[in-house]
């Protein structure tokens, strides 16, 4: 509830983050739609991809650093300056974490796909052993639940590590890695991550997939703009609340200055 209270008092910062997320999503969509018919366009696409990466890292670094500062000081408001990086060290550290996370996500995604592709074999084995029919659809659903929980644990750990890193440096983050992982596995940080993903992520996903039946033309364009604007707001709220909550749980409080 503390993180939601901070967001309620930081409406301009919250809306600015939503606008940045929307602009980044539009930029990523335009980059994916670039044709690859010439060498020049390939070079432009590469440059645009690097720009998108740097913008994303800057937003992540700024919001993580701001959340760490507010949580450590037990603040009540997230200032607008929290959306940009104050020093190159935080930007470089965040870039390293993002690149390592990207490689880890690709690796685990490949592992999960390989496991899911063997659901039919598992169902056949269980059918043979139990002498009762076991549907591969059930096995796929069980795999999906386990996979989603593991993604929640991994995401919570990476964000906890990042907030600890920008708040205390590499030495402190590496020292706390075991505690952070344990917390994201079966303690309050896991519940925080699960609720953040389920509530904000679920609402954003459902809203992005919902297409109301309206007449073509202005109303159709208007509903698309309205829906994806709300999606950006939900993503900004979920991201900010998630970071603030994890930072509050992971970072030690700073001593109040003596009068």
d(CA 104, CA 124): 31
> Which tokens hold the place of 95?
């870039």
Look at residue 195 in the predicted model and tell me its pLDDT. Answer: 93
Task: Kindly report, residue by residue over 62-113, the tens digit of the pLDDT.
Answer: 888 888 888 888 888 888 888 877 677 788 889 999 999 999 999 999 988 8
Contact 234, 207 (CB under 8 A): yes
Contact 71, 248 (CB under 8 A): yes
Q: Of 25, 48, 24, 19, whose CA–CA distance to 36 is shortest?
A: 48
Task: Kindly report, residue by residue over 12-59, the tens digit of the pLDDT.
Answer: 988 999 999 999 888 888 777 767 667 777 888 888 888 888 888 888
Look at residue 37 in the predicted model and tell me its pLDDT. Answer: 65
Q: Which ranges constitute the DSSP H helices of the chain?
A: 2-8, 11-32, 39-72, 88-116, 119-130, 136-168, 170-175, 177-186, 188-196, 202-209, 218-250
pTM listed for this prediction: 0.85
Look at residue 48 in the predicted model and tell me its pLDDT. Answer: 85
- pLDDT at 159 > cutoff 80: yes
Look at residue 137 in the predicted model and tell me its pLDDT. Answer: 82
Task: Kindly report, residue by residue over 219-241, the tens digit of the pLDDT.
Answer: 888 888 899 999 999 999 999 99
Look at residue 233 in the predicted model and tell me its pLDDT. Answer: 93
Could you tell me the CA-to-CA distances from 87 to 50, 84, 99, 124, 172 in Å, in that order?
20, 9, 19, 56, 18
Region 199-207: what's the mean pLDDT?
93
């Amino acid at each position: 509830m503390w993180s939601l209270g901070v967001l309620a008092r930081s409406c301009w910062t919250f809306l600015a983050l939503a606008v940045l997320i929307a602009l980044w999503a539009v930029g990523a969509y335009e980059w994916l739609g670039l044709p690859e018919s010439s060498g020049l366009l390939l070079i432009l696409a590469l440059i645009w991809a690097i720009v998108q990466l740097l913008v994303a890292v800057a937003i992540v670094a700024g919001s993580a650093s701001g959340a760490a500062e507010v949580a450590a000081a037990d603040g009540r408001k997230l200032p607008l300056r929290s959306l940009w990086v104050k020093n190159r060290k935080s930007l470089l550290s965040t870039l390293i974490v993002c690149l390592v996370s990207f490689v880890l996500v690709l690796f685990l995604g490949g592992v999960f796909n390989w496991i899911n592709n063997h659901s039919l074999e598992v169902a056949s084995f269980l059918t043979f052993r139990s002498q009762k029919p076991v549907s591969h659809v059930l096995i796929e659903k069980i795999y999906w639940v386990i996979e989603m929980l593991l993604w929640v644990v991994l995401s919570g750990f990476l964000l906890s590590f990042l907030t600890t890193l920008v708040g205390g440096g590499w030495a402190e983050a590496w020292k706390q890695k075991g505690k952070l992982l344990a917390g994201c596995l079966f303690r309050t940080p896991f519940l925080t991550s699960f609720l953040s993903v389920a509530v904000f992520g679920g609402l954003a996903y459902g809203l992005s997939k919902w297409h109301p039946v309206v007449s073509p033309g202005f109303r159709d364009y208007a509903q698309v703009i309205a829906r994806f604007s709300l999606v950006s707001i939900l993503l900004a709220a979920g991201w900010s609340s998630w970071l603030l909550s994890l930072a509050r749980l992971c970072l030690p409080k700073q001593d109040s200055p003596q009068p």
